[in-house]
Structure 1
């Protein structure tokens, strides 16, 4: 891997490990919100009871831990860059009595598995952040058995994801942050229609399909929304670290005003849009 990509990977590992405590705190809330995309991935994988499944960039363990009970005669290998996130996954598995799984801290671009090891590969909200997305897709294909299936979820376009644009657009308006380089890892890198599907085809997958899943991040209040985003969203925390307290309060007030304009019911249920892409080796 190129030195620049290795640097990105190491920065990401450090960031996800640092935020693992926030993800632990908000895990029930987050996993309920993201469950529809996990369920769509599971549906697309067409799992059998004895399948061996790889869950890539699983964070705190999903959808891998939801897959495990469906493959009771098989197992799930849950991977992530950050050992801190996998700690949460292991604790959740123990609490649920799930035993047919293992965790492996590794980089998707250098998967430590033999060719044709897995019957299925899942990846929920990882692709946008991979330093080399095509290499990652090819690695996933390499470890799949012939006929094996892959399914991945990514965020759609910014206009469909008010849950993140409400706060980030307000931050940018107040802080004038530099724009990231074109094609750099980021939330909406795979958002345009057909982007991830075409990447899958380039990697050699066939029978590629694409489906949109939309919904709302149901926070219940502006304050809960603000707290959540400040404890799990690394770009938000990084940006606000550059602001003094007065500016932070200004941003917070403007975010609340914007959310109330878009959602007058005061329940801070903010729209999201995602794309689920599936294919076969």
Structure 2
């Protein structure tokens, strides 16, 4: 799943409630936004038929279904998400597409236990940055894997290189005071510092960390979104919308107008509202 920036970092319980509901409300647009990064991570993972794969924080389950199709018929893809709303929708979509080997479990990945033999691989597209205590959380994930199993995770790079988030928050900050996120705190940029991520993974028992860089332009709401559609998605479903909701009517309208102006400036016909994005595609071994 994707990360959002608000007055304080999102925690797991937010995804179990309000943020999971917000994500579900615009699921297809969210998926369209981050699909290119997910596709890059799937390509890097190079899954094979017969593998059993855990997908941490899959949101609407698009990546879990993609893995399920790749590892079929003998393999399995298990999506673990803390949001019951998203798990329910992900399961419905897998059933509708006839992907019987993709299943979903509503649980906290930091603490979940699974019966049966350990899994072969682990995947996570923006689902691993919100652990309150990341070392034991990743250690728990490692306990679900076979020795030598590979993990592939995508996490956001530095804020200054993710203008798709920072430009929006910059607009808001011209109208209201928004506290800066604490470095290394649970949230979208928890692992922007790769040295810190290496510390976490090493502390959890993983080794051999290797990193590839994804850089591109993020289409807010997907490539078919107009500036108005992108604006409505952001305000109704992303963390920045919660900040705007807390303001008085004149301030909300001023922020809306300035965000609309920004999105119109960044809109490219046929490509959407485009802003710079950077992510780390990280591999390590249990």
With the shorter chain as reference, the TM-score category is 0.7 to 0.9
Q: Aligned residue for 2:282?
A: 277
CA offset at residue 224 of structure 1?
A: 2.1
Across the aligned residues of Structure 1 and Structure 2, the Cα RMSD in angstroms comes to 2.3
Q: Deviations over 1:178-202 (max 9, x none)?
A: 3445543222121134432342223
Q: Aligned residue for 1:4?
A: none
Q: Aligned residue for 2:30?
A: 30
Q: Does the residue aligned with 1:236 lie in a helix, a strand or coil? A: helix
- In 2, the alpha carbon distance for the partners of 1:153 and 1:124 equals 5
Higher relative CO (CA 8 A, sep ≥ 6), structure 1 or 2?
Answer: 2
Q: Aligned residue for 1:242?
A: 246
Q: Does the residue aligned with 2:17 lie in a helix, a strand or coil? A: helix
- In 2, the alpha carbon distance for the partners of 1:147 and 1:249 equals 54
Structure with greater helix percent: 1
Are 1:55 and 1:123, in contact at CA under 8 Å, matched by a contact in 2?
A: yes
Aligned residues: 270
Which ranges of structure 1 fall in alignment gaps of 5 or more residues? Answer: 1-6
From the superposition, tell whether residues 217 and 45 of structure 1 become closer, same or farther in structure 2 (CA, over 3 Å).
closer
Are 1:38 and 1:62, in contact at CA under 8 Å, matched by a contact in 2?
A: no
CA offset at residue 64 of structure 1?
A: 1.0
CA offset at residue 19 of structure 1?
A: 1.6
Q: Aligned residue for 2:257?
A: 253
- In 2, the alpha carbon distance for the partners of 1:230 and 1:35 equals 21
* Aligned: 1:225 with 2:226: no
Q: Does the residue aligned with 2:148 lie in a helix, a strand or coil? A: strand
Q: Aligned residue for 1:3?
A: none
Q: Does the residue aligned with 2:233 lie in a helix, a strand or coil? A: helix
Alignment of structure 1 residues 121-200 onto 2, 5 Å: 121-200=122-201
Q: Does the residue aligned with 2:62 lie in a helix, a strand or coil? A: coil
Which ranges of structure 2 fall in alignment gaps of 5 or more residues? Answer: 1-9
Q: Aligned residue for 2:119?
A: 118
- The TM-score, its normalising length taken from structure 1, stands at 0.87
CA offset at residue 57 of structure 1?
A: 1.1
- The TM-score, its normalising length taken from structure 2, stands at 0.85
Q: Does the residue aligned with 1:137 lie in a helix, a strand or coil? A: helix
Q: Does the residue aligned with 2:153 lie in a helix, a strand or coil? A: strand
Are 2:23 and 2:30, in contact at CA under 8 Å, matched by a contact in 1?
A: no
Are 2:11 and 2:187, in contact at CA under 8 Å, matched by a contact in 1?
A: no
Q: Aligned residue for 2:83?
A: 82
Q: Does the residue aligned with 1:174 lie in a helix, a strand or coil? A: coil
Are 1:115 and 1:144, in contact at CA under 8 Å, matched by a contact in 2?
A: no
Are 1:213 and 1:275, in contact at CA under 8 Å, matched by a contact in 2?
A: yes
Q: Does the residue aligned with 1:139 lie in a helix, a strand or coil? A: helix
